[in-house]
Amino acid sequence: MDAKISYTSLSSDGATLAKIIATFSVVLTHSYKLFKYMNVDNSTVFYLRGFHAFASCGVPVFFLLSGYFLTFKGNWDYKKNIKKKVKSLVIPYLLFTALYAIISCVGALALPSFFDNFKEFTANDWIMHLFGIPFVIAPSFYGPLWFVRELLVLNIASVILVPVVKKIPGYILLPAMAVVYFLPIPQIIRYSIPFFIVGMYFGFKKSIPVITNNFYIIGLFVVGFAIPIVFEGELAWKISVLLMAIFIITISEMLAVENNIRKIAKIAIPFSFPIYLLHEYPMTTTMRLLAMKHISVPLATAAFLIVPFLIIALCVIVILVWKRLLPKTFSVFTGGRY
């Protein structure tokens, strides 16, 4: 039988495909809000927990890839990296924070049932809604921006993290990060710090462990999908999300060798970050409207799986129009990536 695990340098094509899959998973996880708005208990839709676990592993994958490529080249320059991150992270974060704050305030006037009443905000309320608390509370005006915020903070902290991670042996660092991941800590910490640091460690090694046997790759997904369906509780959920994250990295590296898939990935990747930044408001609005219609659970299940594709299509149209009509503005809002 083929070797089950091998250490390989994560290819650019594999990372690209992983980012695309992770972006879809993030959109899918926000689709799950429909059941929250419908006040449907999680046990009622237990059969969707596997999908939800897959959806929840997208952000951890992003952090792992970010840490990996931070240290992969070996000629890490702190000042140069921070200067780059100001353009690629700080500017998009501030611009989208301002944009969604305006949308929320205008929305509160037109549809008060959909938005918080900003007229009664205290100074602390404004801070929490605009910026939240790093590694504790997501910014309320637009929750997905917590990923950009935490990634920026971790890059700033890399002046300490890089030399520390470089010196600590893997047999100490990796178990320590596993312990951090399984601790009863805020999800924002669990999905960011351990994955970023593990990514940094493998970046220094210029290789990452991937499963090479197709049978075990399929088994990894099946087990990760089944665990939260069969078992309830935080531990089962954490194990499932971890397995799904490993699956995304592994399957991406395996599929990236296919020429047609590489071509599709190169076409899709420019949409990844803009979709991440744009999708949550139309998704949340759609799910709230569906909940107000008091649709049945079976219909809600179908919506949970179908609406993400519609929202992604909508975002692609917005991106294409925005980029065509206002290319410079689009470039600034997306951190000069495209």
Segment-wise mean pLDDT, segments of 10 residues, the chain, 338 residues? 69 92 95 92 86 94 95 85 90 91 84 74 83 83 87 94 94 96 93 96 90 89 95 94 95 91 92 94 91 92 95 97 95 86
- Give the Å distances, CA to CA, from 20 to 164, 266, 299, 314: 31, 10, 27, 16
Within 10 angstroms of residue 99's Cβ, the number of other Cβ atoms is: 16
d(CA 248, CA 182): 20
Hey, is 189 helix, strand or coil? helix
Asked if residue 28 is part of any domain, the answer here is: yes
Residue 150 φ/ψ, nearest 5 degrees: -65, -35
d(CA 255, CA 217): 12
d(CA 228, CA 163): 37
Within 10 angstroms of residue 132's Cβ, the number of other Cβ atoms is: 20
d(CA 122, CA 133): 16
Task: Print the domain residue range for 206.
Answer: 5-333
d(CA 22, CA 306): 17
**Residue 13: enclosing H or E segment and its boundaries?**
helix 12-31
Asked if residue 68 is part of any domain, the answer here is: yes
Q: What does the pLDDT look like over 257-303, one tens digit per residue?
A: 889 999 999 999 999 999 999 999 899 889 999 999 989 999 999 99
d(CA 253, CA 269): 15
What's the chain's Rg over C-alpha atoms? 20
Q: Residue 79 in contact with residue 212, Cβ under 8 Å?
A: no
Conformational region of residue 295, where left means phi above 0, alpha means psi within -120 to 50, and beta covers everything else: beta
pLDDT attached to residue 113: 72
pLDDT attached to residue 168: 95
Asked if residue 87 is part of any domain, the answer here is: yes
d(CA 65, CA 61): 6
pLDDT attached to residue 306: 96
Token pair recorded at residue 173: 């660092």
Asked if residue 47 is part of any domain, the answer here is: yes
pLDDT attached to residue 56: 93
- Amino acid, single-letter form, for residue 334: T
Asked if residue 338 is part of any domain, the answer here is: no
> What is the pTM assigned to this prediction?
0.93
* Number of compact structural domains in the chain: 1
pLDDT attached to residue 2: 53
Q: Residue 96 in contact with residue 142, Cβ under 8 Å?
A: yes
Nearest to 155 by CA among 131, 132, 185, 134: 134
d(CA 26, CA 141): 17
